[in-house]
């Protein structure tokens, strides 16, 4: 009986661990066509960004005109959903952007500080995915047979850092259907790819998301970051706030002067107290509110770029 009791305990423990792993939270993903694919297929648009002409993907046009793109994204979404990954649909995110009239979003401060967002940065803010899967594919023809060569890059939606990659070519097939060819090519690599995504997400759980925070001042504001409150400079007060509100007090104060501060590798919680995903804007609202109130009473303006960059400009709105 004693041996049976020990066995039962071991079995229960094993089941408990297995259940815990099965219930592990997975990162939310969104699949998008890569810049390379958009450029190759004529879905790029030239825009003026702070005086410089740049080419950016026209996701809306691509989704409306290219049935192949819809089929490919649907196939990758299906493969990821089968493995338990929550999805954000690119087409739905684009529609939300339309309804919010966010395509032309650009904020410029009176001090000359500017925040111009690219289409993918605006898309990220709406979708709020943890990982962006950047997808490129080409169809190869060898006689009557076809195959697909693909590259998938998993990018952290907050930092754009590559956290996973997979590339390969499927076996030649008589199948003419692109989704079938793509699935055959991807299946051999997808579990390793997903393992890389999960490892990155587990690190975020343990150490927080990574963002960039900038503090600036309007030229019209007569004070600066050396202004003292109760014997402490404002830049010290801001640095103390960062220390208290970052995960494990992890951040790098890259620059700190009279008129500006730069914080990089800022680790923030994945979720707020209500379980809502936290981004750079939500994180910095706490500092914004503190500085607006006594004893500081500093009017300020919060500007963001994508999910992972926020700038607080002091002195005006």
Q: What is the pLDDT of residues 113-139, one digit of tens each?
A: 444 677 888 889 888 899 999 999 999
User: What is the C-alpha separation between 254 and 128, in angstroms, rounded?
Assistant: 27
In terms of pLDDT, which residue wins out, 74 or 46?
74
C-alpha of 63 from chain center: 21
How far apart are alpha carbons 106 and 298 in whole angstroms?
24
Reply yes or no on whether the pLDDT at 24 is more than 70. Answer: no
Q: Are 35 and 138 in contact (CB under 8 A)?
A: no
What's residue 119's pLDDT? Answer: 80
> Comparing 107 with 262, which gets the higher pLDDT?
262
Instruction: Give the confidence band of 277 by pLDDT, cuts at 50, 70, 90.
Output: confident
Greater pLDDT, 271 or 119: 271
User: Is pLDDT above 60 for 19?
Assistant: no
Kindly state the average pLDDT of the residues 89-96: 90
Q: How many CB atoms lie within 10 A of CB 63?
A: 18
Contact yes or no for 76/140 (Cβ under 8 A): no
- Secondary structure of residue 270 in the 3-state scheme: coil
| pTM (two decimals) | 0.82
Computed over every residue of the chain, the mean pLDDT equals: 86
Query: For position 126, what pLDDT does the model report?
Result: 87
d(CA 242, CA 44): 39
Minimum mean pLDDT among 59-63, 76-80, 119-123: which range? 119-123
Q: Token pair 């914004």 is at which residue?
A: 288
Nearest Cα neighbor of 77 from 32, 17, 128, 119 is: 32
Cβ–Cβ < 8 Å for 308, 210: yes
Spacing of C-alpha 121 from chain mean position: 9
The segment with the largest mean pLDDT, out of 22-26, 38-42, 114-118, is 38-42
Q: Is there a contact between 186 and 152 (Cβ–Cβ < 8 Å)?
A: yes
Percent of the chain's residues with pLDDT above 70: 86
- On whether the CB atoms of residues 95 and 62 are closer than 8 A, the answer is no
Note the pLDDT of residue 113.
Answer: 41
Phi, psi of 12 (to 5 degrees): -65, -40
Percent of the chain topping pLDDT 90:
69
């Amino acid at each position: 009986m004693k041996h049976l009791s020990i066995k039962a305990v071991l079995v229960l423990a094993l089941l408990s661990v297995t259940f815990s792993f099965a219930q592990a939270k997975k990162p939310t993903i969104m699949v998008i066509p890569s810049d390379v694919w958009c450029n190759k297929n004529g879905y790029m648009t030239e825009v003026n960004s702070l005086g410089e002409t740049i080419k950016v993907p026209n996701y809306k046009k691509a989704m409306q005109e290219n049935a192949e793109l819809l089929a490919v994204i649907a196939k990758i979404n299906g493969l990821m959903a089968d493995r338990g990954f929550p999805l954000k649909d690119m087409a739905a995110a684009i529609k939300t952007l339309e309804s919010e009239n966010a395509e032309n979003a650009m904020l410029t401060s009176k001090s000359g500080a500017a925040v111009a967002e690219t289409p993918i940065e605006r898309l990220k803010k709406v979708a709020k995915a943890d990982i962006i899967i950047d997808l490129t594919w080409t169809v190869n023809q060898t006689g009557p047979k076809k195959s697909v060569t693909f590259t998938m890059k998993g990018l952290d939606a907050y930092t754009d850092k590559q956290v996973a990659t997979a590339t390969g070519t499927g076996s030649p097939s008589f199948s003419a259907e692109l989704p079938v060819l793509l699935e055959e090519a991807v299946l051999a690599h997808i579990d390793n790819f997903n393992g890389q995504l999960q490892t990155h997400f587990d690190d975020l759980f343990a150490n927080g998301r990574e963002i960039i925070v900038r503090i600036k001042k309007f030229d019209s504001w007569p004070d600066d970051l050396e202004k003292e409150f109760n014997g402490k400079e404002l830049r010290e007060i801001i640095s103390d706030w960062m220390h208290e509100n970052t995960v494990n007090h992890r951040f790098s104060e890259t620059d700190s002067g009279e008129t500006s501060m730069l914080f990089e590798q800022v680790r923030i919680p994945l979720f707020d107290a209500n379980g809502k995903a936290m981004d750079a804007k939500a994180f910095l609202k706490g500092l914004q509110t503190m500085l607006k109130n006594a004893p500081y009473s500093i009017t300020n303006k919060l500007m963001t770029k994508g999910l992972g960059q926020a700038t607080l400009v002091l002195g005006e709105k």
